[in-house]
Amino acid sequence: MFADYDGIRDWFVRYAHTFDLSVPMIQMKYGHSFDVMKVGEKLAGALAWSPADAAVGVSACLLHDTGRFSQYRDFGTYYDGSSVDHGERGYEILSAEFPRALTDDEGREALFQAVRWHNKKTLPELEVRVAPFCRLTRDGDKLDVFALVDRRIREGTVGDLLPRHMPDAPLSEALLDEVERTWSGTYKNASSLRDFLLIQLTWVLDINFAPALRMLEDSGVLQRIRSRFPKDDARVQALLTALFARFAEMTA
């Protein structure tokens, strides 16, 4: 398996600069792409991946949101439900525009599938050689989104990042029902910032690699999220207690 990481990074920079990076939401995705790449580098190192596999995995992390740039240009939103599936759009863009010389066939397949599936609620049955790269990309993306949202909340700019999720609105009853029933949540049932944060907490149950769980735990972000829920709501606190008990089982 082969991927020319330096060449891929250069191609991505050129591609991203075909969009207006002075638009704050597009610039944010450009920075997020490199931040996810850095998380991918740490995870690949912690997992002791070979240099060849690490190059493919880190490249997939960098390219994971390729579809976001044209999504925002064309629709003015990052909400897939009212625009396009950005993983599928990224896959289509790479299939049409990504230079063949930058990977061998095996590396290309792993890279493209990681981009295609990084945003899906669950992964399908994947080829054994492809699956680890999809999982690395999903973990890297989740970890950086945790950090990004946490930082924006503390800076007071989370409304710019998540305009659909009202900061002072209550938790959605439909979302609470869904999470209690399935241990996961969908954005169609989310309209408040706390809704988004509850969905984020369910992401932890989908983390694939132990080093990613350790990084998330060490960051303190999970406890900061927990502190943002009403302490006098018995139903919510019971759900949080159950979620955190499951997290503890995963890291035991």
As a whole number, the mean pLDDT across the chain is: 96
Q: What is the mean pLDDT of residues 113-138?
A: 95
How far is it between the farthest Cα atoms of the chain? 59
pLDDT band at 252 (very low <50, low <70, confident <90, very high): confident
**Shortest CA distance to 4 belongs to which of 69, 65, 52?**
52
The pLDDT assigned to 53 comes to 98
The CA distance from 38 to 70, in Å, is 23
The pLDDT assigned to 243 comes to 96
CB atoms within 10 A of CB 248: 10
The CA distance from 88 to 79, in Å, is 14
Would the pLDDT of 86 be above 80?
yes
Would the pLDDT of 52 be above 80?
yes
Q: Cα separations (Å) of 122 from 90, 185, 203, 237?
A: 18, 12, 11, 26
pLDDT in tens, 133-144: 999 999 999 999
The pLDDT assigned to 167 comes to 86
All structural domains of the chain? 5-142 (1.10.3210.10), 164-251 (no CATH)
DSSP 73-123: HHHS---GGGS--HHHHHHHHHHHHS-GGGB-HHHHHHHHHHHHHTTSSS-
Report the share of the chain in percent with pLDDT over 70.
100
Q: What is the mean pLDDT of residues 161-187?
A: 92
The pLDDT assigned to 163 comes to 87
Lowest mean pLDDT, pick from 60-74, 161-175, 210-224, 227-241 = 161-175
pLDDT in tens, 151-163: 999 999 999 899 8
The pLDDT assigned to 166 comes to 86
How many Cα atoms occupy the beta-carbon half-sphere of 202 within 13 Å?
20
Q: Cα separations (Å) of 46 from 9, 35, 64, 230?
A: 22, 17, 20, 36
CB atoms within 10 A of CB 2: 13
Would the pLDDT of 164 be above 90?
no
**Shortest CA distance to 189 belongs to which of 181, 179, 202?**
179
**Shortest CA distance to 137 belongs to which of 155, 156, 123, 149?**
123
**Shortest CA distance to 107 belongs to which of 154, 166, 69, 50?**
50
Distance of CA 3 to the CA centre of its chain: 22
Would the pLDDT of 233 be above 90?
yes
